[in-house]
Chains A and B, each alone.
Chain A
Amino acid sequence: MGIIKASKLVFEYIRRDEEGNVDSIQTAVDHVDLDVNEGDFIVILGHNGSGKSTLAKQLNALLIPSEGTLWVEGKDTKERENVRDVRRTAGMVFQNPDNQIIASVVEEDVGFGPENLGVPTEEIWKRVEESLTSVGMLKFRRHSPNKLSGGQKQRVAIAGVMAMEPKCIVLDEPTAMLDPNGRREVLSAVHELNRKKGITVILITHYMEEAVDADYIYVMDEGKVVMEGLPKEIFSQVEELKRHRLDVPQATLLAYELKKAGLPLPDGILTRQELAEELERCYVNYTK
């Protein structure tokens, strides 16, 4: 069993009126199965309201499944006594960088998680230093988070999670509020953690470009996992993606249109680089 496994996961938001009678039920996550292996870089894609955040919050035991079971490192998140272990194993980074930084100094914020876990003082400082280094923010350790850029704040938030030494981090649209530079900064930090420290990453996003390097992709729509597979497999199904109101990376889209127009291009081109190479090959073949 992988580090995260979900079986027929269902989550319902139940709205009640004043008397406590059920007013409406919104099924935000609908029979989702996941199986994530340690060290993987997983991307979850989906249109607004497709249930991505609801799923993410369950991975951290912030929400408890209405039906089905979710295991994090073999521990059922439904059991009250597992909650702390689950949160230690799967750290969580949220969308708004301002609303997840607790302290007024960077290093104090990074130390917040370890403090909560009761880690001894010297060990906290060691972890703070290590995790700030791992996201390239060590030189800002004494700064106020208010004076940092969005990308830097988000990296501090990631360091705050890393200091709890999780095996997995779940990032819920960490780049949605950032400019292109900030997005690149954050993504390269996350990729580096995955590569160098073997941290399992579950990245939720609706920027297709961020999904290109994933080991595996899940696409969600209306609470269900509607597609899953390797990036090449997912992005070769342009029509299917469009049906779920998702875009494809620009290079992929261009390749798709060119192919439709008659050029002999393969499916599943993901980057500009690949597209350029394939086009060159076409050209060479053509001139021959």
Chain B
Amino acid sequence: MLRDITLGQYYPADSPVHKLDPRVKLFGALVYIVSLFVFRGIFGFLLATIFLLFLIKICQVPFRFMVKGLKPIVILMVFTAVFNLFLTPGKQVLFHYGILTITMEGVKNAAFMLVRLTYLIVGTSVMTLTTTPNQLTDGLEKALKPLSKVGVPVHAVSMMMSIALRFIPILIEETDIIMKAQMARGADFEEGSLIVRAKNMIPLLVPLFISAFRRADDLAMAMEARCYEGGEGRSKMRPLSYRRMDYGAYLLLFSYLGGIIALRVFL
């Protein structure tokens, strides 16, 4: 279960999306998320779908990697859909039994909500799967550079983020191992009341935290040994600079967003 989390996992390939400047992809993800909450009606939906399919097609990441990210949130999606289905008031009643009412509007809402959540996850996976965490944080660092003038430690924060992304899979694996070790000794993480289950988590969390602190200590030392002294005076392996294709991508993004807005306003 824990291994299904695809957050921060990079899929190496040589696609045009991989080669884009990370700032474009960050901005693109933002635009796409916004568009998902702006679009309305079947044409908006079609446009968002075509755009996503186009991205999936050109980014050369196998489809199953993209949908893997959906697994952990299936429950959330079902809940949202059910709530929307039964709790949307409307004129056209399709089904009525006791307090349960399904309206046409409810069906529509539920369907769109499912689509929104799915597209949101898949859309952002396109970004994280095609961008290494380092590039992502480099992009973030550069995009937020102006903030460092007012004292925000932009470099430190983005370094922390990229390290966090690197260690997520390691800590997940470690949790898995500790969990299995405790289960082999009779620990039970699935049964009992919420309080009982929370209590059962303690023998899991304590060793996990201890090991995380030890790792942090080791890592800090390893970084220091490799002459890391903060952002000052560092050079970049991949200095960020926009190329023609990046401007093209921006253009595409803006036309897409314009299209979505136009469809909402005029249809």
Contact A62 B225 (CB under 8 A): yes
Complex interface: stretch among B89-97, B235-243, B257-265:
B235-243
* Cα distance, A175 to B83, chains bound together (Å): 55
Q: With a CB–CB cut-off of 8 A, which chain A residues contact B134?
A: 103-105, 108
* Cα distance, A102 to B233, chains bound together (Å): 18
Query: Is B12 part of the binding interface, using a Cβ–Cβ cutoff of 8 Å?
Result: yes
Query: Is A114 part of the binding interface, using a Cβ–Cβ cutoff of 8 Å?
Result: yes
Query: Is A60 part of the binding interface, using a Cβ–Cβ cutoff of 8 Å?
Result: yes
Contact A104 B10 (CB under 8 A): yes
Contact of B222 among A84, A88, A94, A164 (CB under 8 A): A94
Query: Is A113 part of the binding interface, using a Cβ–Cβ cutoff of 8 Å?
Result: yes
Query: Is B132 part of the binding interface, using a Cβ–Cβ cutoff of 8 Å?
Result: yes
Contact A88 B224 (CB under 8 A): no
* Cα distance, A116 to B229, chains bound together (Å): 7
B237 to chain A: closest residue by CB: A111
Quote the shortest CB–CB distance from A112 to chain B (angstroms).
6
Complex interface: stretch among A37-45, A141-149, A221-229, A244-252:
A141-149
Quote the shortest CB–CB distance from B172 to chain A (angstroms).
10
A107 to chain B: closest residue by CB: B237
In the complex, which residues 132-160 of chain B have their Cβ closer than 8 Å to any Cβ of chain A? 132-134
Contact A164 B226 (CB under 8 A): yes
Contact B237 A121 (CB under 8 A): yes
Query: Is B69 part of the binding interface, using a Cβ–Cβ cutoff of 8 Å?
Result: no
Q: Mark B221-254, 1 if CB is under 8 A from A, else 0.
A: 1111111110001111111000000000000000
Contact A119 B221 (CB under 8 A): no
Quote the shortest CB–CB distance from B230 to chain A (angstroms).
9
Q: How many residues does chain B have at the interface if contact means C-beta atoms less than 8 Å apart?
A: 33
In the complex, which residues 1-50 of chain B have their Cβ closer than 8 Å to any Cβ of chain A? 8-10, 12
Contact of A62 among B8, B166, B221 (CB under 8 A): B221
Contact B228 A112 (CB under 8 A): yes
Query: Is A203 part of the binding interface, using a Cβ–Cβ cutoff of 8 Å?
Result: no
Contact A121 B170 (CB under 8 A): no
Q: A100-B218, A105-B132, A114-B235 are in contact. Are A146 and B170 (CB under 8 A)?
A: yes
Contact A87 B166 (CB under 8 A): no
Q: With a CB–CB cut-off of 8 A, which chain A residues contact B234?
A: 115-116, 118
Quote the shortest CB–CB distance from A62 to chain B (angstroms).
6
* Cα distance, A108 to B136, chains bound together (Å): 13
Query: Is A179 part of the binding interface, using a Cβ–Cβ cutoff of 8 Å?
Result: no
Q: A84-B227, A142-B12, A144-B10 are in contact. Are A102 and B222 (CB under 8 A)?
A: yes
Q: How many residues does chain A have at the interface if contact means C-beta atoms less than 8 Å apart?
A: 42
Query: Is A28 part of the binding interface, using a Cβ–Cβ cutoff of 8 Å?
Result: no
Query: Is A92 part of the binding interface, using a Cβ–Cβ cutoff of 8 Å?
Result: yes
Query: Is B219 part of the binding interface, using a Cβ–Cβ cutoff of 8 Å?
Result: yes
Query: Is A160 part of the binding interface, using a Cβ–Cβ cutoff of 8 Å?
Result: yes
Contact B225 A92 (CB under 8 A): yes
Contact B215 A164 (CB under 8 A): no
Q: With a CB–CB cut-off of 8 A, which chain B residues contact A26?
A: none
Query: Is B55 part of the binding interface, using a Cβ–Cβ cutoff of 8 Å?
Result: no
Contact B225 A91 (CB under 8 A): yes
Contact B233 A118 (CB under 8 A): yes
Q: With a CB–CB cut-off of 8 A, which chain A residues contact B200?
A: none
Q: With a CB–CB cut-off of 8 A, which chain A residues contact B219?
A: 99-100, 102
Query: Is A125 part of the binding interface, using a Cβ–Cβ cutoff of 8 Å?
Result: yes
In the complex, which residues 150-172 of chain A have their Cβ closer than 8 Å to any Cβ of chain B? 160-161, 164
- Give the 6 A-B residue pairs with the shortest CB-CB distance, closest first: A99-B218, A100-B222, A111-B237, A113-B226, A92-B225, A142-B12
Q: Apart from A88-B227, A104-B165, A119-B235, list 4 A-B contacts with CB within 8 A.
A: A103-B134, A108-B134, A121-B239, A142-B12
Give the B-binding residues of A (Cβ under 8 A): 57, 60, 62, 84, 87-88, 91-92, 94, 96, 98-105, 107-108, 111-121, 124-125, 128, 142-146, 160-161, 164
9 A-B interface contacts by CB (under 8 A): A99-B219, A100-B219, A102-B223, A108-B132, A113-B227, A116-B229, A116-B234, A117-B227, A164-B227
Give the A-binding residues of B (Cβ under 8 A): 8-10, 12, 132-134, 162-163, 165-166, 169-170, 214-215, 218-219, 221-229, 233-239
